[in-house]
């Protein structure tokens, strides 16, 4: 097939240049011009510093913050590092794996310990690990489940916290796409902005 070697080489290099350089660089240029904020990762800044991205969840563990979904991402040595934005991934636990049931039970226990008065059923999304380990959202039900704890820890009226949650609920797009959700990072930032980042338990 000697006679096909030249066309093959030319086709390969021409298509590589077009689809491997011109195309991605063209998209980069145009996207940067049209949607600069989105193209760079929809970053959120406070006082001139980047504190995160609206799409990438962060690890919140203090009682005064809303907690996101469990994340099982790990660092480069394989040690747990929740919400590792440089190494996405899920648990890959099978539904039949006893470890899954145990992990879910542990998370339920943690939530109940953090707020013994929250006795209702825990929404499933709050105790199961997300696929990316970076899920920025929880369900409105999961946010309301934590409202009592957050209000208590911040010394706020629970109704005001629930009101803030309600204001942060995004419905399904076009009414049918996806699920109703609350962005955890944005919600916590709104809490800090409205009620102060350093308010303490006032009891």
Pairing of strands 43-46, 49-53: antiparallel
CB of 169 vs other proteins, minimal distance in Å: 8
Q: Which is nearer to other proteins, 49 or 202 (CB)?
A: 49
**Helix axis angle, 140-154 to 98-114, nearest 10°:** 40
- Helix axis angle for 184-195 and 140-154, nearest 10°, is 30
Contact set for other proteins, span 136-155 (CB under 8 A): 136-142, 144
* Residue 134 interacts with other proteins (CB under 8 A): yes or no: yes
- One residue of 64, 130, 151, 156 binding other proteins per CB under 8 A: 130
What is the rounded distance in angstroms from the CA atom of residue 170 to the CA atom of residue 184? Answer: 12
Rounded-to-integer distance, Cα 110 and Cα 127, Å: 10
Taking CB under 8 A as the criterion, the residue among 131, 155, 163, 196 binding other proteins is 131
128 touching other proteins, by CB under 8 A: yes
Please list the residues that pair with 173 across neighbouring strands: 177
List binders of other proteins among 18-47 (CB under 8 A). Answer: 18-21, 23-24, 26-28, 30-32, 34-35, 38-43, 46
Rounded Cα distance, 50 and 26, in Å: 27
Contacting residue, 65, 129, 152, 168, with other proteins by CB under 8 A: 129
CB of 150 to other proteins, least distance (A): 17
Kindly state whether residue 62 participates in binding other proteins, applying the rule CB under 8 A: no
Pick left, alpha or beta for residue 174 (phi over 0 → left; psi -120 to 50 → alpha; otherwise beta): left
Q: Which of residues 88-127 bind other proteins (CB under 8 A)?
A: 88-98, 100-101, 104-105, 108, 112, 121-125, 127
Cα atoms in the Cβ-side hemisphere of radius 13 Å centred on 199: 18
The region of 6-14, 146-154, 155-163, 190-198 touching other proteins under the rule CB under 8 A is: 6-14
Cβ atoms 26, 34 nearer than 8 A: no
Cβ proximity to other proteins: between 119 and 202 the closer is 119
């Amino acid at each position: 097939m000697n006679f096909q070697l030249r066309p093959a080489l030319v086709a390969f290099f021409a298509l590589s240049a077009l689809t491997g350089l011109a195309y991605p660089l063209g998209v980069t240029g145009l996207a940067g011009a049209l949607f600069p904020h989105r193209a760079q990762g929809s970053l959120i800044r406070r006082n001139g510093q980047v504190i995160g991205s609206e799409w990438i969840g962060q690890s919140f563990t203090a009682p005064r913050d809303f907690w996101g979904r469990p994340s099982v991402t790990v660092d480069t040595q394989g040690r747990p590092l929740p919400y590792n934005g440089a190494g996405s991934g899920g648990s890959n636990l099978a539904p039949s794996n006893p470890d899954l049931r145990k992990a879910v039970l542990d998370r339920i226990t943690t939530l109940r310990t953090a707020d013994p008065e929250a006795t209702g059923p825990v929404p499933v999304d709050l105790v199961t690990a997300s696929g990316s380990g970076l899920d920025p959202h929880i369900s409105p039900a999961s946010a309301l489940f934590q409202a009592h704890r957050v209000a208590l820890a911040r010394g706020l009226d629970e109704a005001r916290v629930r009101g803030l949650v309600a204001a942060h609920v995004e419905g399904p797009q076009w009414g049918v796409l996806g699920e109703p959700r609350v962005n955890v990072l944005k919600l916590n930032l709104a809490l800090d902005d409205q009620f102060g980042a350093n308010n303490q338990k006032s009891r």
